Copies of this chain bind each other. A is one copy, B any other.
Amino acid sequence: MPAHASAGLAEYERSCEGHPGGPEAGRMIREVLDRVGDKWSLLVVATLGDDVLRFSDLLRHIPGISQRMLTLTLRQLERDGLVIRTAYAEVPPRVEYRLTALGATFVEIAHTIAQWAIANHSTIEQSRAEYDAR
């Protein structure tokens, strides 16, 4: 990655021209964000962590998510290879979800974001208050 940690994406793309990966960083970021930057994906991945959870477990651990959105989100994550779905032919049915190896690598990013969110939450709130007051 960039030698200079806070180099702009523009500069980064310049350094990429020509070789694999190419200057398409912007497009790829957008694609990843479309998947994991939606309303629930990152939260589902972060909640799974290294646990194995059932559908109803996830529903309980993620306050505010609807059954519908949990279903859709899990399907997408499964399609993208971040989550493994295991259904047991029992009655009543039991379905377990866990992260793939790829999914596990993303958890670290999720934690980085969570950490940043927690650390800067109040600063942002304050900035908003000041902005709105002008």
Contact = CB atoms under 8 A, between A and B. Distances in A.
Interface of A: 1-2, 4-12, 21, 25-33, 35, 37-39, 42-43, 46-51, 61-64, 78-81, 102, 104-118, 120-121, 123-124, 126-128, 131-132
19 contacts: A2-B111, A5-B111, A7-B50, A8-B46, A8-B49, A9-B114, A12-B111, A26-B43, A28-B114, A29-B42, A29-B114, A32-B113, A32-B117, A33-B37, A33-B39, A78-B131, A79-B127, A80-B124, A106-B116
Nearest to A64: B30
Contacts of A81: 123-124, 126-128, 131
* Secondary structure class of chain A's binding surface, majority of residues: helix
Nearest to A22: B118
Nearest to A5: B108
Given A9-B47, A48-B8, A131-B78, A102 B114 contact: no
A75 to B, nearest CB: 9
